[in-house]
Amino acid sequence: MSKIFAANWKMYLNEEESIDFISKMSSNKDLFADKKVMIFPSHTALSSVKNALQIMPNIKVGMQDCDMKLSGAVTGSNSISSIPVDSCIVGHSERRIIFKEDEKVVKKKLENSLQAVETTILCIGETLDEKNQDKTFEVVDKQLSILPSALNGKKLIIAYEPVWAIGTGLVASNDYIAEVLSYINNAIKSLYSDEVLSEINLFYGGSVDESSVESLSTIPLLDGFLIGSASADFKKFENILKKMR
């Protein structure tokens, strides 16, 4: 199976830049025709990106985060039902750290997202301190403890993103990622039937770029990548896709 490329544009591109990016994709449609790509623009660019991507229906579009609530008095936030999307990211480490989102908050977002969209990405991963204290599996267990007992036909991507590798230029080694993915795989095997497991994909994220993606693509159990900064630069995005196996 070819790998899935989820592009988390964070707050890198404004609406105009996002549309410009999509128009570069459109003029290079053949490269993207058989690729599995998901794009997570900033919320303000979502609607324009969705419209611009209508001519490339294989490219999925999602929200970078959603609120715990579906509607109500939450100034500045965005409900998962604010705009129809294919996917949503929950539990990103930037949300956990900057916005102090704990497991209770991420669980509520996960539930909302699983109800509303086709594919939810749950991000998990340890900080450098936790890694140095040999707590990686403990953190993974805690972050996976919010998984629901059923997925009700929806798809779930568990993105293993060690916090120390996000935006730092440090990529975890293939062996390290393989070991953690294997741990995650065993953990979910004890929760779900084979039928449900076939709807779950495992990703890696953390400073993936055009120089690391080819080697990372060989990691067993890995189905795709969640990529931040390199995904918001069209040239790098293109090169990553060409090198992804």
Catalytic residue IDs: 92, 161
CB of 92 vs ligand PEP, minimal distance in Å? 6
32 versus 204: smaller Cβ distance to ligand PEP: 204
Which positions touch ligand PEP (CB under 6 A)? Answer: 8, 161, 166-167, 205-208, 226-230
CB of 62 vs ligand PEP, minimal distance in Å? 13
- How crowded is residue 39: how many other Cβ atoms within 10 Å of its Cβ? 27
Point out which residues pair with 224 in neighbouring strands.
Answer: 4, 203
Structural Rg of the chain based on CA atoms = 17
120 versus 207: smaller Cβ distance to ligand PEP: 207
Tokens 């899935």 found at: 4
Q: Which residues contact 183 (CB under 8 A, 6 or more apart)?
A: 137, 140
Q: Which residue is nearest to ligand PEP (CB)?
A: 228
CB of 23 vs ligand PEP, minimal distance in Å? 23
Structure tokens at 52: 């611009």
64 versus 112: smaller Cβ distance to ligand PEP: 64
H or E stretch including 195?
A: helix 194-197
Structure tokens at 61: 């579009």
The helix/strand/coil state of 226 is strand
What is the C-alpha to C-alpha distance for residues 152 and 154, in angstroms, rounded to an integer?
6
CB of 98 vs ligand PEP, minimal distance in Å? 12
Strands 4-8 and 87-90: unpaired
Counting every residue, how long is the chain? 245
Task: With CA atoms as reference, report the closest residue to 128 among 179, 88, 93.
Answer: 93
80 versus 227: smaller Cβ distance to ligand PEP: 227
CA 231: distance to chain centroid? 12
70 versus 170: smaller Cβ distance to ligand PEP: 170
CB of 66 vs ligand PEP, minimal distance in Å? 16
